[in-house]
Amino acid sequence: MPMAAADPRVLAVAARVAESRERDVPALLLALKEILNSPSLGRKESEKVKQDIHYYDLTRYCVLVLRQDYSRVRGGWATAAQLAEILSHCCVGLEVKEDPEEFYTKFLPSAIDNLLFLGRRLQARFIRAVKDEEKQDFLRCFQTVTDAICWLFGGHIQLTKHVLQNDHFLQLLVTDNVETAVIMMSVLHSILGVNSSVLLQVDEETLHSVLDELVYKLSSTTNPVIGNAATKLLLLIAKFCKQLLKLLTTRYKGLKVLLSKQWTGKGFDRDLSQLLDLLYLEQSKHQAACIIQAAWRGFQTRKRLKKLPQAVTILQRSFRAKREQERQHLEKQKEDEALKLQMQLQRQRAMRLFHERQLALLEIIHASQVNKHMKEMEVKSALTIQRFWRGYRARRSFHQQRQSLKEYKAAVIIQRAACKFLEKQRSKRPLSPWKDPKGLTDEQRLALQQKVDDYIKLHPASQMSEEMSKELHMQAQEKLAQFMLRSKLDQRAAQRRETLLAQVNTDVELLMNAPRLAETTEKDLAVFMSRSVPVATKAKQSHNAMLKYARWPWWKKLGDEFVEDDVIPDDALNAELGSLFIGGRKSY
């Protein structure tokens, strides 16, 4: 909220703008011009009025309505030009106390963007206009908008960089129309006058685009107005910084000839001669630097040529030494290959002699002993192969299990740390004092009893005879008995399945670890035999029964496939019913 009372005229405009339609807002905002130009306002009063206008978002309305199509708005494009002027005057000299960062970083750049966009629209309509009156009106509006832009960045210098880097500004500058081109070059002149270092702050692409357009205007037209404006701009740029002057001489090498031949005697010879003097001076410096560099390079070249015979001798010496090293390396490599080949021949000769001696010994040994010896060699070879295979398999399984073991250990460590942390937190937590449960008061009991009585009256229970009650009770007891017996049978079946599964897993493990039949001994057979005589007898009987059942003819097995496992025999059901409580008394 503003510190003092707001201006009633500003309040009235804000109220009318808030209540009116969107197309009527621009005409209503024109009332701010009379408020700002009021002769009774002093400096402090003017600042207070600007703060009130900004506080009630009227400046934001001005920014937003600049993008409308004013061909259908009352007052036409002249209204848009006046709004641009009002916006620039409201923003210059305004001290924002609430959120100034948003005002300087967002609001002002958006205002510049919309003003430049409005300028593009006016420039396009001025070029397309046919009548002279329309052209003059659009040119006057365009001049007003550019003046508002200059007034705005004159009050906020940081906006000059934003204006130069804006695409709308570059498109406004790139035009063949004389009137608008002169106006835009005057805007650029104002930018350089307000902030002379702005060309060094923008990026290289923007700088080159501006300079290219100025040089293009000098080379593509003969209008002295365009030539005068472009020459003054280039002179201002060249006077400001030597770096930009050097860029002009290196990037545009034919600029001096163009200026001296095409623009001499056009009415601005003074500015033109100053620009040519700067360009010639920079070019002479550049030529002097080139001469000095050429002399220095020639001196360095002659110096290197004097040292060339010595360098050639050193190069030849190093080349011969390297070639000798390569020759010695090749000879050593050949010797190593010959030695390796000789060692292989010696090993082959030794293996051949060994096999010959082995065959000679086999010829001496009796034929019965030869077969035994061969079997022993096969056994030793098989054991060696098995030992290597088991070692490889153990190492592979160990490498596979090592990662899971690491994960398990890490999980254990994390769980241990979490348990310790939770235990510490529980020890730090204060114990809440015991609170007795709150009982019902007499009034609450009476109210609850009254609710129960009312519910019973509204929902009376159905009447049932004593015989029906007993029959229903007997049916419930019978179903309960069936459920309990079925649950016991299911539990026994589950235990039997678990037992059979454990037995199958044990048998599979024994079979997987069992040796081959050729290597089986009595000790290995003992693993598959039970020491319990009843167990062995039962297993033998079961085996014989299964063999006998398998030898039965098909007509003896006809009824077995239709037997259901879930059918409960009546004897078991009667026995289970006998142990239930009926009506609170146990039946025997």
In degrees to the nearest 10, what's the CA dihedral of 566, 570, 573, 574?
180
Q: Evaluate whether 178 touches 223 at the Cβ level (below 8 Å).
A: yes
Residue 324 predicted with pLDDT over 90 = yes
Residue 41 predicted with pLDDT over 50 = yes
Give percent above pLDDT 70 in the chain. Answer: 88
Residue 248 predicted with pLDDT over 90 = no
Mean pLDDT within 374-379? 85
**What is the per-residue pLDDT for 211?**
82
Q: What is the CATH number of domain 8-202?
A: 1.25.10
Length of the chain equals 588
Q: How far does CA 427 lie from the centroid of its chain?
A: 43
pLDDT digits (tens, 9 = 90+) for 503-546: 888 877 877 777 777 777 777 777 667 667 777 788 788 888 88
- Say which range, 19-23, 276-280, 515-519, 560-564, has the weakest mean pLDDT: 560-564
Q: How many CA atoms lie within 13 A of 263 on its CB side?
A: 29
Residue 363 predicted with pLDDT over 60 = yes
- pLDDT band for 564, please (50, 70, 90 cuts): very low
Q: Evaluate whether 184 touches 146 at the Cβ level (below 8 Å).
A: yes
pLDDT digits (tens, 9 = 90+) for 281-322: 666 666 667 778 888 888 888 888 887 788 888 888 899 999
CATH 1.25.10 residue spans of the chain? 8-202
Residue 571 predicted with pLDDT over 60 = no
Residue 565 predicted with pLDDT over 50 = no
Residues 6+ positions from 365 with CB-CB distance below 8 Å? 373
Q: Evaluate whether 213 touches 207 at the Cβ level (below 8 Å).
A: no
**What is the per-residue pLDDT for 562?**
45
- pLDDT band for 585, please (50, 70, 90 cuts): very low
pLDDT digits (tens, 9 = 90+) for 433-443: 555 556 678 88
3 state DSSP class of 582: strand
More confident residue, 433 or 84: 84
**What is the per-residue pLDDT for 338?**
92
Question: What pTM does this model have?
Answer: 0.48
The full DSSP string for 111-136 is HHHHHHHHHHHHHHHHHH--SHHHHH
Give percent above pLDDT 90 in the chain. Answer: 9
Residues 6+ positions from 221 with CB-CB distance below 8 Å? 178, 227
Mean pLDDT of the chain: 79
**What is the per-residue pLDDT for 584?**
38
pLDDT digits (tens, 9 = 90+) for 436-468: 556 678 888 888 889 888 888 887 766 777 888
3 state DSSP class of 381: helix
Cα separation, 588 vs 575, in Å, equals 10
More confident residue, 299 or 586: 299
**What is the per-residue pLDDT for 336?**
92
